[in-house]
Structure 1
Amino acid sequence: MINAQGIHEAHPTEPGTALLLAAAPAGKGCLIDAATVLPALAAVPPSALTGTPAATVVELADPLDPQTVLTRIRTAAAQPGPLRLYVTGQLHLDHRQRLLHFALARTTPSTLRYTALPWHWLTGELALRRPHTTTVVLDLVADAEAWEHVRTGGVGLGHGVRVFGRVSPPPPRRTVLTPGYLKAYADIWRAGERPGAARLHEAAAARSGPADALFLALDTSFAAPVPAPVPVPAQAPAPAPDGDPHPALLAAAHAGRHGEAAAIATLWESEALRTHGAGSPQAIHWLEVRADLARLARDPARSFTLWAAAAEARLARGEGAADEDVEAAVDRAHHQWEQVADPVAARAHAAALTALRHRVPGRRPGAAEAIRRRMDALGEASAAL
């Protein structure tokens, strides 16, 4: 449907999809009791959540694994009809790459890069959708560094995505906020009211506060987009004249623009998934590209996770444990695990690597024993502290 401004929008009769994502770390790292809003949202008609007569609602409550969250987002984003994402939780800033991350249930400051969802993963998936068919509603709290980042650069969801929401500054120590902005949405809907998106935002903002929160109301059909902290393209960039996109991608990585390189690779991976399907050689290739980009960014924990995922994907599609590409993926995962300096992170990944090594021993004997030796050494180092 073409609106009065000449912009292609979703037809109102198309089935809509709503994805409800609520997550926060357990324990002392929790800044917002995110999951408490889900029962309130689940109590409203699905059509209110999507703005369409026919609706599908997907709920993610305190997920643990960023790859699982990415898969759910990717599946929702692949639907042709209107999409609304309701996201509540907390934002943190990666100290090394200065990139926003959305914390998940197991996220801690020391494990942020591999237990939280990189915000540019979300941006990359939404960028592939038809413009002006996506609405994102946010109720977030940011830690101190992420707060400064958001205040000056926005949340960076890109052109063609409507954004409404609240980002609160970090609360006082030992204070846990509630997702009052999204709870106000639920209260309004349960009262039988169905205001438009802008009026709904205004009402929720007036009810929720706090006064120092950053309220977002951006309809990119009519306004300039929020400046993005990463130069993420709206679609996968055109390849070089010879059809190869890798030189430009690697140039960005070698220039230190690691967030840009990762976002571009994610877009190409998403396109491979759409065109060839999950588990295809094309999709696995881009998973391995992202693994190598994480290595170049000196993020061995993320690189390990991606190489291990690539090995699992190859095994799942029927490649043998002795196949060269499978062995190479496992060897690289093992090597990156050896580079993880943080003992907590190394121990967290040891079980997955050990299980993978039992399936793919490799051509060099003693790989599993090497894992045990390092774990023993890490245990001794911890005991000495």
Structure 2
Amino acid sequence: MPGTVLLLAASPVGRGCLVDAASVLPVLAAVAPPVLSGTGTANVVELADPLEPQAVLTRLRAAAAAPGPLTVFVTGQLQLDRRQRLPHLALARTTPATVRYTAFPWRWFADELRLRPPGSTTMFLDLHADADTWEFLAGRPLTAGPSTELYGRVAPPPSRRAVGRPTYMRAVATLLRSGHRPPLDQLHQQALTRVAGEESGRPGAADLVLAPGRSWAGQPWPPAPEFTTVTAPPHTPAPPPRPPAPPAGPPAPSVAVPGGTDRPGGPPAADPHEEITAAVRDGRHEDALALAARWEREALRRYGHGSEPVLHWMEVRADLAMMAGDAERSCRGWLALAATRLDAGQAPGAPAVESAVDRAHHQWGRVGDPARARELGAELARLRQRVPGSREGALDHVRRQLRQLQTQP
């Protein structure tokens, strides 16, 4: 099966540029596509200094939907938006004041890669951070969801009036140009060795290194708890996520089985996410939705309404409906998820709440039946009054669309 490779290099134009990101693309492009992807054949998509976050999202979404292994190479710089203090990949038009509107939110990587099969997605990162973001990242791992293997480094801002070099990504590309693709952890370590030699004049140990299966500073990968992805960590079958609890010694493992009982000890049950992903790949969307609904009912029985495991499976079902092309059911799912998060006490500006409402809004625009669209639009308008979202004019857009729908039979 052919693989897919996405080459993304982005940095602001002008004084805000911290790294010459695009300079590495010719070196990566010189590597044979099968070597970049580790497959017999591969399709390569290149994004050089994109202007709009939606353009990046479109290419990422298409790459994530492609069958076969996916390898993403990202070179650029990270900045925080001033409102929510969340990391973004700066794009060509990004300035410190416009991060929220002109940069690519880092969490969108996890959002788009969530349904990929475990073990099929790899990211290589060579990122520079401004001073504010560098301080932020010191205590917070940069993730792309637990099903994605991350390799690379995040470097501190270069000295004043200097522009950094993507030396890690250039080292990876140079090693791959030999035509040999070693195991990825070896490739990562060999690239780091080259970087240490090239940057001997600066304290390379200050970089945050992303190693296979881990984040930096010895923190576990992924950070716990994380309930916002559909797939489980590579090669690690797992039951639905459980709320965090203080450690109480090494209890025997317990696995929840929908419609059954816990099974203490022994090997864990097969990961339901893998079965769901297989059903989606085979086009059995109703089977995938039914299985997710069973796990949601089990999570509801075990943990109660509004618990993180229940929210997780609500999100899975809304995603699956979208993949099945059922915009109405997907919209209803995202609306219900947003309302449940708000009822559970989450803030209207919380990223998970805003994301749910934004996704409901997007799916609502694809509902073809005017009567159903009017019904869902009224509910969306009520939610938009509480959760206006990051883009101005969202509520006005809903109201305009509702007025147009009133004229349709």
Place the TM-score, normalised by the shorter chain, in its bin: 0.5 to 0.7
- 1:56 & 1:311 partners in 2: Cα distance? 42
Matched, 1:22 2:114: no
Specify the alignment match of 2:97 in structure 1.
Answer: 110
- 1:173 & 1:127 partners in 2: Cα distance? 38
Matched, 1:259 2:351: yes
- 2:360 & 2:397 partners in 1: Cα distance? 17
Question: How does 1:215-294 map onto structure 2 within 5 Å?
Answer: 215-219=209-213, 225-227=221-223, 231=226, 233-235=228-230, 237-239=312-314, 244-252=333-341, 255-256=346-347, 258-264=350-356, 280-281=366-367
Contact 2:31/2:179 (<8 A) preserved: no
Letter in 1 for 2:5: A
Contact 2:5/2:42 (<8 A) preserved: yes
- 2:377 & 2:103 partners in 1: Cα distance? 18
Contact 1:294/1:303 (<8 A) preserved: no
- 1:266 & 1:225 partners in 2: Cα distance? 28
- 1:142 & 1:24 partners in 2: Cα distance? 11
Shift of 1:248: 3.5
Describe the SS at the equivalent of 2:8. strand
Q: Which moved more, 1:112-121 or 1:240-249?
A: 240-249
* Structure whose residues are more often helix by fraction: 1
Structure 1 residues 124-173: Cα deviation after superposition (integer angstroms, max 9, x where no partner)? 00112112110011000111222122221111212121100110011222
- 1:266 & 1:26 partners in 2: Cα distance? 29
- 2:89 & 2:175 partners in 1: Cα distance? 27
Letter in 2 for 1:249: A
Specify the alignment match of 1:122 in structure 2.
Answer: 109
Instruction: Pick the aligned partner of 1:50 from 37, 45, 48.
Output: 37
Contact 1:132/1:160 (<8 A) preserved: yes
Contact 2:334/2:359 (<8 A) preserved: no
Shift of 1:299: 5.5
* 1:22 to 1:308, Cα distance in 2 relative to 1, 3 A: farther
- 2:53 & 2:141 partners in 1: Cα distance? 22
If asked which structure has higher relative contact order (CA below 8 Å, sep 6+), I would say: 1
- 2:139 & 2:93 partners in 1: Cα distance? 28
Contact 1:166/1:216 (<8 A) preserved: yes
Contact 1:233/1:264 (<8 A) preserved: no
Contact 1:261/1:293 (<8 A) preserved: no
Contact 1:121/1:263 (<8 A) preserved: no
- 1:133 & 1:199 partners in 2: Cα distance? 18
Structure 1 residues 238-295: Cα deviation after superposition (integer angstroms, max 9, x where no partner)? 349997442441453573252122344577789x69xxxxx7328xx89999999887
* 1:303 to 1:188, Cα distance in 2 relative to 1, 3 A: same
* 1:324 to 1:269, Cα distance in 2 relative to 1, 3 A: closer
Structure 1 residues 197-254: Cα deviation after superposition (integer angstroms, max 9, x where no partner)? 001000111111422101101237xx952327x9551138334999744244145357
Q: Percent identity?
A: 42
Question: How does 1:30-109 map onto structure 2 within 5 Å?
Answer: 30-109=17-96
TM-score, normalised by the number of residues in structure 2: 0.62
Contact 1:142/1:169 (<8 A) preserved: yes
Specify the alignment match of 2:138 in structure 1.
Answer: 151
- 2:190 & 2:107 partners in 1: Cα distance? 29
Shift of 1:54: 1.0
* 1:250 to 1:31, Cα distance in 2 relative to 1, 3 A: farther
* 1:149 to 1:226, Cα distance in 2 relative to 1, 3 A: farther
Specify the alignment match of 1:370 in structure 2.
Answer: none
* 1:181 to 1:293, Cα distance in 2 relative to 1, 3 A: farther
Shift of 1:32: 0.5
Contact 1:155/1:226 (<8 A) preserved: no
* 1:204 to 1:303, Cα distance in 2 relative to 1, 3 A: same
Q: Which moved more, 1:133-142 or 1:143-152?
A: 143-152
Shift of 1:58: 0.1
Letter in 2 for 1:35: A
Specify the alignment match of 2:165 in structure 1.
Answer: 178
Contact 1:158/1:234 (<8 A) preserved: yes
For these two proteins, the number of residue pairs brought into alignment is 294
Specify the alignment match of 2:404 in structure 1.
Answer: 323
Q: CA RMSD in A?
A: 3.8
- 1:187 & 1:204 partners in 2: Cα distance? 9
- 2:339 & 2:57 partners in 1: Cα distance? 23
Letter in 2 for 1:280: R
Specify the alignment match of 1:372 in structure 2.
Answer: none
Describe the SS at the equivalent of 2:392. helix
TM-score, normalised by the number of residues in structure 1: 0.66
Name stretches of at least 5 consecutive residues in structure 2 with no aligned partner.
Answer: 197-203, 231-310, 318-328
* 1:29 to 1:51, Cα distance in 2 relative to 1, 3 A: same
Letter in 2 for 1:227: P
